A and B are shown apart, each in its own frame.
Chain A
Amino acid sequence: MLKKAPIEIRTSPHLKKALSVEQIMRNVVYALLPICAWSVYQFGISALALILVTTITCILTESFFCWMSDRPNSVKDYSVVITGLLLALTLPPGFPLWMAAVAGFIAIALGKSLFGGLGFNVMNPALIGRAFVQAAFPVAITTWTPSFVPGRFLEFIPSTLAVPFMTPVDTSDWVKEKAIDGFTGATPLALQKFEQVSADTMDLLTGSVAGSAGETSAIIIFICGLYLAFRKMMDWRIPAGVFAGTVLLSLPLYLYNPEIYPSPQFMLFSGGLMLGAMFMASDMVGSPLTPRGIWLYGAFIGVLTVTIRIFGGLNEGVMYAILVANALAPMIDSITQPRIYGERKEEVES
């Protein structure tokens, strides 16, 4: 008996929950696919190309650095795919592919591999990638093209195919020629900021407005986020916190002066806030651990986003808000350590 196999000894516990990292990551990818599909439907092959380019660059970069610092190749855990997809979703549909590749490389190299790979990165890699290209190519990343352009599945947006390291062509005449009635090339947020006109919430939900691939369809993003939350693969408290923070600041302002200050629902559904809250703020690696810390973190992102949008120079603040919050996470953690079971009062003081 027992002699077939040698006795094996292991440490307790001998049971293990089924949920594992690669499972979580795979499901996040699933949750992102519908959003990608929608953006392709909206913007055509340009969006498709964008998604493919970022994802592939991310994968290649990851494998390269794993090989460099002879770590086991960590592409299998899908986290880098998420990075690639999310990166693509935050870029303008007509973004030149070579710039997208740069973004992908930076995201993984500067944002992840530098620190030792999955779980060790201090800030959200995808957003680091985006922040970098936004600072590097501010013009390209603020030129938007209309959605639902006729023939979008057959031809690329001209700027997409810019020669590597060369300036992309100006899309404005292409837009004119496409004759999208009254398309100003401005995102709802830009319009709001510079002309004080709020887009209709319905349009925001369905995404018939300008914007980056992933920020124009709040409703789909929301649903996909819910899926993750219910599968317990994403911490619902973070998005909740973000929304709370957003409303917390924008509602009083709106009530104070509806002319210049946008409405809370506009704040919630416009721009990258939905994607940011559901998929980027919720990246557990950069977020605090403690229960109270998580709420604080979410709320902070919401508040900071509104602040930047309304009082700042930029018309979109989610990205920077999340990055700053990531940087603050360690401090948030240390000031919100949970009170442990049976901790005595005097210990709490000391």
Chain B
Amino acid sequence: MTELTSIAISVGFMAGLGLLLATVLVIANKRLFVYEDPRIDEIEDLLPSANCGACGSPGCRPFAEGLIDGSYEPAQCTVNSKDMNKIIADYLGVDLGNREKRVARLACAGGKHVAYIRASYDGMDTCRGAALVSGGGKGCTWGCLGMGDCEVVCEFDAISMNRYGLPVVDEEICTACGDCVDVCPKKLFELHPVSHQLFVACKNLEKGDEAEAECEVICTACERCAVDSPEGLIEIKENLAVIDYGKNRISSRVAIERCPTGAIVWFDKKGNYAVGKDARKVIRKEALPVG
């Protein structure tokens, strides 16, 4: 067949094919259209996809959906960078929303150098494991076992173990995801707004001498903090000082000043804490002997 016919045929054929496909697609689009909001994907792209749950939703995609139907505020994602959240806010035409930064705080100050070790644990190097074996080797059965499950679990590397085997939270980085709260077998972590500056770093329920026999920075329930601070801010429950954060406004440093052990502490904005001046000075650097 001649070249021209061939050209004609092919061009015609293609045109036909193109139109055919187009019609099919048109019909398809009319008949079989299922709408889903494309913004979900777009926002999800803008989220860190850490799926940590710090925002309070199961993961990043549900959070994105929540953002669109307004059940969440962009700033609730504590992992994302500020300006990123800003972009999302503008994109959705909602306001950023701002909630106070929360951080994880450890209710134990009994490092190796001040807390008495009753038995040497030999086995899996995890707090969970140790806690299951007669509660672990530590004299204070409420205290931190210092094997760093929390350090491991923190996806953001906000926790590092110090030389005395106590986890230290870097409040800059902490996103209050709460993983460490869940993982700690002794339930020593609590999530607090940074404005909660007064804090009792102990959970031991014993009192007096037998308490002090176990740890030098233990709360002995001597009640000084409760007496010194404004009415009702602190009261002693089960031999332990408990702060009523409802009255957080009236909290102040005076509460910690006469604490003999330094079990109650005052956090500054940067996240490092101070003990009262009457607190027994700990000069020991090395760990206490076992047994």
Please report A residues at the B interface, Cβ cutoff 8 Å: 3, 5-11
Contacts and interface: CB of A to CB of B under 8 A. Distances in A.
A7 B133 contact: no
B133 A8 contact: no
A7 B118 contact: yes
14 contacts: A3-B291, A6-B119, A6-B291, A7-B118, A7-B291, A8-B120, A9-B119, A9-B120, A9-B121, A9-B122, A9-B136, A10-B122, A10-B123, A11-B132
Contacts of A11: 123-124, 129, 132-133
Contacts of A8: 119-122
Nearest to B137: A9
A3 B133 CA distance: 20
B27 interface: no
A330 to B, nearest CB: 26
Contacts, number: 32
B290 interface: yes
Given A9-B120, A9-B121, A11-B129, 17 more contacts: A3-B291, A5-B291, A6-B120, A6-B289, A7-B118, A7-B119, A7-B291, A8-B119, A8-B122, A9-B119, A9-B122, A9-B134, A9-B136, A10-B121, A10-B123, A10-B133, A11-B124
A11 B289 CA distance: 22
A4 to B, nearest CB: 10
Nearest to B117: A6
A8 B120 CA distance: 5
A7 to B, nearest CB: 4
Nearest first, the 3 A-B pairs at minimum CB distance are A6-B291, A7-B119, A6-B290
A84 B128 CA distance: 40
A6 B116 CA distance: 12
Contacts of B291: 3, 5-7
Contacts of B137: 9
Contacts of A10: 121-123, 133
Nearest to A5: B291
A9 to B, nearest CB: 5
Contacts of A5: 291
A23 B120 CA distance: 29
A10 B123 CA distance: 6
A2 B173 CA distance: 46
B171 to A, nearest CB: 32
Contacts of B124: 11
Interface string B88-119: 00000000000000000000000000000011
Interface string B128-149: 0100111011000000000000
A7 B122 CA distance: 11
A331 B132 CA distance: 35
A123 to B, nearest CB: 30
Nearest to B290: A6
A3 B119 CA distance: 11
B120 A7 contact: yes
Interface in B190-249: none
Nearest to B289: A6
